[in-house]
Amino acid sequence: MTALLIRSLLFSLVLLNAASLACAQPATPKRWKQAAIGVTRAGTEIPVWLNSGAGNPKSQRNRMVVIGGHDGSTASTNFVQQLVERANTSKPNPNNGTAFIPKVFPDGLSTDLALTAGKGYPPGKGFYDDAAQPEPRYLWRWVGMYGATLVVDVRAGKTPGYWASEHADADQLAKLLAATPFTNKIEAPPADDFVRQLAEKGVEDVGRVPTLLLHVSSPVAAPEVEAIAKLLASFTPSKSPAWDEIIWRERRTPEQIAASLATVYGHDLKQVAYIPALAVIGRQRIAVELNDQKEQESLKQLLAPFLEGEKSPVPKSGSEHAGHLLFAELAKRSEGKDRERWIELCRAAADQIFDKDGKPLKLMPSHNEMSDAVFMATPILCATGKLTGEQKYFDAAVGHFRSMKKLCVREDGIYRHSPLDEAAWGRGNGFPALGLAWALSEFPEDHPAHGELKKEFQNHIAALLKHQDSFGCWHQVIDKPGSYREFSSTCMIGWALKRGIDRGWLDKGTHQPALDQAWLAAKHRIGPKGKVVDICTGTGKMRSLRDYYDRPAIWGVDARGGAMALMFSTEMMDGTK
């Protein structure tokens, strides 16, 4: 009895030790990690699985997207999920940049909508505020910007089969699918089907992508999954105009991008507000960089009415306060009476922070309690202080910033847009990043508050880096990955990173990778003829997270997006030679 008890105890100890060792073993790392391409009306993120190279199209010639659930079927979703599991346990392939979107409609589809799922492309409007189905909008633009070499759309069918678009390399597909359950060719889908529109017309100005439509069994059959897993591992992609376009954009220099943008933006100054003013600043920087005398003469004529006194704008809004940064930049390049005139115009904005007795107000008028005001007021105050040598402007800038911090900085270091809601709007964080970096550029190091402002800038950047996505972007709502990748905030934060690294406020080793990825993302989203991708329209104080999700995203020529693109590209010129 005693011997039996001892053996039993020893056996239990062995099992316990084995279990402990098993628990101590690190889990096999997953090479594909979950992110999001969008968000449903219910607030559910639309999942996507990406590998580590997703943000660098140039490094991955096999850059495919596999989509499930487009038809609302459980079978297609399960099929793609099984492909994800296989990808995570297969031998690593550095050229394989396949992204998996298992469930386009994570909240499900009603019966009537399921009948039309996959059709009605391209979406004509509603990016990304469509009241019924934002999911197709998110999918359409996300796939377009991925730079895919092949898109595979998996749907449930009566029998397994496939349809391939014209440029999907039908011969190679036929060979790879021979002796598999997918030997049957199915009829071409309707002209407005996702796979037809993507292959025949493409997304906006990015270009066409070869497509493959698969019909799979319900329930999922293992041989079918095995066949497609092998296809994804061995398929050599054919020509993809979308991939070619993305790579062409990536290869451009900052000077080339800025020069192209300057043909579209920076030619209008009817209102001295921040959007046209920043565009003019960017246009002037590239004209000087390239020693373009014709451009410089054109700019001289544009600015002459302000220099000669025909126009003496007095700001009536925060946007116009920031617009006067143009005059500060011009003052730096000028001498004598010209310099005095530009400084006079700077004072017209900066002096509004003082009351009738010359005492600084806690906040610049027109702040509207929005985080935008960190940029709208702080830099022009600091720039005017540097130009005049008067400390009162620096002191007022510090007071203004401290008041804005109390209103808008959250405990996690990110800015809420306003006290109306906790949502961390993308551009509502781009403004403080850009604003503090610009202000520090003008701020004297021997001022008692210099260290404070620098630390606030560093803290904000550190908080923002946690939310930069795999592609280098920041999103419409900074800490909500399902919100769309927002272009202007990415440019503004990228500009701040570049300035911070160059001036020594940010450690290069820590921050250069984030800057490199942000610049790559911006290059991908700056197209020909001044077109830019997914800029949030003008936005005031919103009352809910949903309000920020629903702010329209512009793809095309956009003054705000173009100005920020010019600022970022001209900032990136420094140190590129």
Report d(CA 383, CA 385) in Å as an integer: 5
Confirm or reject CATH 3.40.50.720 for domain 33-248, answering yes or no: no
Instruction: Please report, for the chain, the start and end positions of each structural domain, with discontinuous segments joined by +.
Output: 33-248, 252-573
CA dihedral 387, 388, 390, 393 (to 10 degrees): -60
CA dihedral 463, 467, 470, 474 (to 10 degrees): -100
The answer to whether the beta carbons of residues 375 and 560 sit under 8 Å apart is: no
Q: CA angle 461-464-469, nearest 5°?
A: 135
Q: What's at 490, amino acid-wise?
A: T
Task: Give pLDDT, residue 26.
Answer: 36
SS (H, E, C) 512-543: HHHHHHHHHHHHHCECHHHEEEEEECCCCCCC
What are the strands of the beta sheet with 45-50, ordered from one edge?
33-39, 45-50, 99-101, 64-67, 150-156, 211-216, 161-164
| Residues whose CB is less than 8 angstroms from the CB of residue 432 and which lie 6 or more positions away in sequence, other chains included | 371, 374, 375, 404, 408, 415, 460
| Residues whose CB is less than 8 angstroms from the CB of residue 362 and which lie 6 or more positions away in sequence, other chains included | 399, 400, 403
| Residues whose CB is less than 8 angstroms from the CB of residue 271 and which lie 6 or more positions away in sequence, other chains included | 313, 320, 323
Report d(CA 157, CA 186) in Å as an integer: 10
Smallest Cα–Cα separation from 405: which of 455, 466, 354, 352?
A: 455
Q: CA angle 564-365-309, nearest 5°?
A: 70
Q: Which helix (H) or strand (E) holds 215?
A: strand 211-216
Report d(CA 525, CA 57) in Å as an integer: 13
Report d(CA 211, CA 217) in Å as an integer: 20
The answer to whether the beta carbons of residues 544 and 570 sit under 8 Å apart is: no
Residues in the chain: 577
Domain 252-573 classification at class level: mainly alpha
Smallest Cα–Cα separation from 502: which of 566, 440, 544?
A: 440
Fold agreement (33-248, 252-573): no
CA dihedral 138, 144, 145, 151 (to 10 degrees): 100
Report d(CA 371, CA 466) in Å as an integer: 20
Report d(CA 102, CA 118) in Å as an integer: 14
CA distances, 436 to each of 67, 197, 365, 392 (Å): 42, 44, 19, 18
Residue 293 phi, psi dihedral angles, 5° rounding: -65, -35
Smallest Cα–Cα separation from 407: which of 450, 348, 364, 343?
A: 364
CA distances, 500 to each of 235, 341, 366, 462 (Å): 44, 30, 28, 12
Report d(CA 410, CA 282) in Å as an integer: 32
Task: Give pLDDT, residue 360.
Answer: 98
**Please, what is the angle between helix 559-573 and helix 274-289, to 10°?**
30
The answer to whether the beta carbons of residues 392 and 385 sit under 8 Å apart is: yes
Q: What is the DSSP letter of 62?
A: B
Buried b (16+ CB within 10 A) or exposed e, 390-415: eebbbbbbbbbbebbeebbbeeebbb
Residue 438: both structure tokens together: 């610009």
| Residues whose CB is less than 8 angstroms from the CB of residue 338 and which lie 6 or more positions away in sequence, other chains included | 307, 330
Tokens 């493959």, residue?
A: 212
Bridge partners (DSSP) of residue 45 are 39
Smallest Cα–Cα separation from 33: which of 51, 54, 53?
A: 51
The tens-digit pLDDT sequence of the chain (577 residues) is: 455 444 444 444 433 443 333 333 334 456 889 999 999 999 999 999 998 888 888 777 789 999 999 999 999 999 999 999 999 888 777 667 899 999 999 999 876 676 677 899 999 899 999 998 999 999 999 999 999 999 999 999 999 999 999 989 989 999 999 999 999 999 999 999 999 999 999 999 999 999 999 999 999 999 999 999 999 998 988 779 999 999 999 999 999 999 999 999 999 999 999 999 999 999 999 999 999 999 999 999 999 999 999 999 999 999 999 999 999 999 999 999 999 999 999 999 999 999 999 999 999 999 999 999 999 999 999 999 999 999 999 999 999 999 999 999 999 999 999 999 999 999 999 999 999 999 999 999 999 999 999 999 999 999 999 999 999 999 999 999 999 999 999 999 999 999 999 999 999 999 999 999 999 999 999 999 999 999 999 999 999 999 999 999 999 999 999 999 999 999 999 764 3
Q: Which helix (H) or strand (E) holds 161?
A: strand 161-164
Smallest Cα–Cα separation from 231: which of 291, 195, 186, 183?
A: 183
Task: Give pLDDT, residue 530.
Answer: 97
Residue 351 phi, psi dihedral angles, 5° rounding: -70, -10
